[in-house]
Amino acid sequence: MIHAVRKLRFCVAALSLCGSAAFFANPVFPPRPAGFTPFDDTDIRAPAAWGFLNTHDPSIFFDAASGSYYVYSTDMQKGMYVTPGCQIRKSENLVDWSFVGRAIPGGEIPGDVAAWASPVSLWAPDCVKVGDEYRLYYAASLFGKQRSAIALAVARNPEGPFIPRGIVLETRAGDPVNAIDPAIVRDETSGRRYMAYGSFWGGIRLLELDESTGLLANGARDIGDGFGVSLARRASSVQGAVEGPYIIFNRETGYYYLFVSYGSLSSNYNVRVGRSRVVAGPYLDYRGLAMTDLEASPESVGYKLTSGFRFGDGQGWFALGHNSVLQRDGEWFFVHHVRPEGGSSWAYLNVRKLLWTSDGWPVANPLPYAGETEQAVSSADVAGKYACVLFEDAPTAVVTASVALSLKKNGSFVLMAPSGKIRGSWSVLEANKISLQSRGWRADVFALASWDPDADAPTISLTGIDRNGHGVWARKDAKKH
């Protein structure tokens, strides 16, 4: 019902745009979310109060039976591994999160997994429901090691207990890939389920699963080198790392989208995207380069959705990555972990509203989700001074600082880009779509009535892509409360 009301409000606003030259104004902003304070040691000592804190490698799951949202994540606590079992968090609105506990009870690594990989914790879980069974896929390894395992545990409830079923895939030193970071995807045509996985070494692969057991399908390893179809790869160094795959299908565009994380999870982690008409690829980026391309510059392959950033003198964030994506009642959400600038061991959960450009590429709200909805805006709503982040393929800093953007009431703009001042014109195209144009640069962005956690106030945020395939984020200056 809530989503239906939001859609009706958006349609009414859009109709008012078309009916007159006077644009619909005064967008409805989301209410103030609870928020959190980075580096608060109180939360470290009280798992029940963790909320966003200590969330690493989050995988989002909506449980239709209960109507609740769940995030499953790696076992960690302020950069250290703790009681194993895969963390579970729960929300009713994607804004407020509570720590539920651990999926696999007992605090011990399942015997077959412990015997093979000798891990101290369990990593990167992904939950799917098949029939009445909830299936939790997770990884076990040691940092930088290739003797790894992906295993499966099952339950009748999204909160567990999840009972170990067995190892899905093992790798050892010398294999072409690494068996961590599982993500499950269903082929929309055949109905078959697949597991994307991989990290460093040979990159991201895809293997078919057996529908009845959830383990590998018969014959899944009989093709090629036995580790599945290659979806994305890079050089096997920290600078060339690719991991954390997640694949979703968008019925409106007809594409499967492969999200992966590049770089080091403690510094320059960033999310890249490619798309394909078929689940097995090839996945191509915004420029038409395959995600398996080893000839192009390593930093130029993959459309960069986001990376480290800072708006003005606010809190900086970096290592955005290992994401998942949720589609619910026509709305999309981008879920990932992030680290606050100044504390590389602190990982937090972030949920951002995800939108789709007219040519079928995802863009994310620069500000965390607070319940905002798409709605029409006026030129008066949008005009003002902004802090603007221009994402680059290979930035020189882990955290990209914002530059000044001024959208003037007379329809002109001034952008203080690193390459020099850009002047041009801007306009509201329709509803919440804004176009910025100059002689040598153009960007199409969405405007969203959002909540700014730095100012603790409502504001307008902008998100889009420029004509060079680079992401553009902006946040209108808001008066701090």
Predicted local confidence at residue 119, as pLDDT: 95
Predicted local confidence at residue 480, as pLDDT: 63
Res. 185: pLDDT tops 80: yes
Query: Distance (Å, rounded) from C-alpha 400 to C-alpha 309?
Result: 4
Res. 395: pLDDT tops 80: yes
Res. 126: pLDDT tops 90: yes
Predicted local confidence at residue 18, as pLDDT: 36
Q: Which CATH class is domain 378-476?
A: mainly beta
| pLDDT grade for 8, boundaries at 50, 70 and 90 | very low
Q: Judging by DSSP bridges, how do beta strands 400-401 and 309-310 pair with one another?
A: parallel
Res. 102: pLDDT tops 90: yes
310 in Cβ contact with 317 (< 8 Å):
yes
Q: How many CA atoms lie within 13 A of 420 on its CB side?
A: 4
Res. 3: pLDDT tops 60: no
Q: Could you tell me the pTM of the whole model? A: 0.94
Average pLDDT, the chain: 92
143 in Cβ contact with 207 (< 8 Å):
no
Phi-psi region of 139 (alpha: psi -120 to 50; beta: other; left: phi over 0): beta
More confident residue, 322 or 237: 322
CA distance readout (Å), 359 to 103, 209, 253, 255, 426? 39, 32, 8, 11, 20
Segment 394-422 mean pLDDT: 96
- Cβ atoms within 10 A of the Cβ of 383, count? 18
In one-letter notation, the amino acid at residue 308 is: G
| pLDDT grade for 48, boundaries at 50, 70 and 90 | confident
Q: The tokens of 333 are what?
A: 């959400």
CA angle at residue 44 from 41 to 48, to 5 degrees?
125
Res. 385: pLDDT tops 80: yes
Q: The tokens of 67 are what?
A: 């109507």
CATH 2.115.10.20 residue ranges of the chain are 41-364
CATH 2.40.128.10 residue ranges of the chain are 378-476
Segment 142-154 mean pLDDT: 96
**What are the residues whose beta carbons fall under 8 Å from the beta carbon of 350, sequence distance 6 or more?**
52, 320, 335, 336, 337, 338, 368
Res. 456: pLDDT tops 50: yes
Q: The tokens of 126 are what?
A: 């992904």
Taking only the tens place, the pLDDT of each residue in 15-30 is 333 332 333 458 999 9
* CATH number of this structure's domain 41-364: 2.115.10.20
Query: Distance (Å, rounded) from C-alpha 219 to C-alpha 152?
Result: 19
Predicted local confidence at residue 42, as pLDDT: 65
